[in-house]
Amino acid sequence: MPADAETMKRVETGGAVALVLSGGFILFLILLALFAPLVAPVDPLEQDLLLEKLPPAWSADAEPGYWLGTDSLGRDVLSRLIHGARTALIVAFLAASAAALLGSVLGLMAGFFRGWVDTLISRAVDVWMSFPPVLLSILLVAVLGTGLHSVVIAIAVIDWTRFCRVIRTETLAQRAEDYVDAARIVGLTRWQTLWREILPNVWPTILVLLSLEMGIAVIVEAILSFVGLSVASDTPTWGGMIAEGRQVIHYAWWVLVFPLGALCLTVLAFNRFGDALRRQVDPVLRR
């Protein structure tokens, strides 16, 4: 087998493995979130000060039934971690989907129609991206009020620009291809050409951005919950657990390490899934 072909085969195999592993982890998280009340060992809000800061199950001073230990209020870390996944994934899917829909539509219109449409949308993107995203998200949530809907709206309103700029660039490149001229010759309108011909070729890029945006949304939600601007304070969130664990890191490291590890693995899984998925669906990369 030629060296180039063998290298390409290894890359494709590695991409397939990455797709399966990252997709499997995301599916595992989704199942945990859906069946959190059935999977969690105990009520994540149940407090018992007599059981505060219990170490994980493999430690000498562990208490049976508390696999990942307890926090400073005696709440089960594993149960809170499982219920926190529900909040993280709801925000990830809703916020990323809303940002992708708004940004992709505007990017397609700007790249295809150009002229004053492109100028108007591009200037709006430039102005919007001049604001620091984290500070803007905190400001929006502070104005809208805490709650899941506020977090979703804030992330979608901020991150649509990322989709818009990339999709505009991709649309400009596709617009210069011969198949666009052929579509006009056979009688397709401009809108039909945009949605039937260009959108399918831009779709792989949207998938990658959507997956990456889900990871970003998980991080933003964790930041907002870390500073107390996400959902209600009694709702388990990874950011809230990290904020609490930071205060007791010298006495109960597990309160910080486990939600921080879950956050990192989730973001990594979304990033790897998006990259591997594009290699499978993008015809250019598969050549």
The β-bridge partners of 76 are 70
Contact between 88 and 218 under an 8 Å Cβ cutoff? The reply is: yes
pTM given for the model = 0.85
Give the pair of three-digit tokens for residue 193: 């050409």
Contact between 71 and 77 under an 8 Å Cβ cutoff? The reply is: yes
Distance CA 125, CA 167 (A): 12
How do the pLDDT tens digits run along the chain, 287 residues long? 455 555 555 555 656 788 889 999 999 999 999 998 899 888 898 888 888 888 888 887 778 888 898 888 889 999 999 999 998 999 999 999 999 999 999 999 999 888 889 899 999 998 888 877 777 777 887 787 777 888 888 888 888 998 999 999 999 988 888 888 888 888 888 888 888 888 888 888 898 899 889 999 999 888 888 887 777 767 889 998 999 888 888 888 999 999 999 999 999 999 889 888 777 766 555 44
Which CATH fold would you assign to the domain 3-281? MetI-like fold (1.10.3720)
Q: Which residues contact 88 (CB under 8 A, 6 or more apart)?
A: 33, 218, 221, 222, 237, 238, 263, 266
Distance CA 143, CA 136 (A): 10
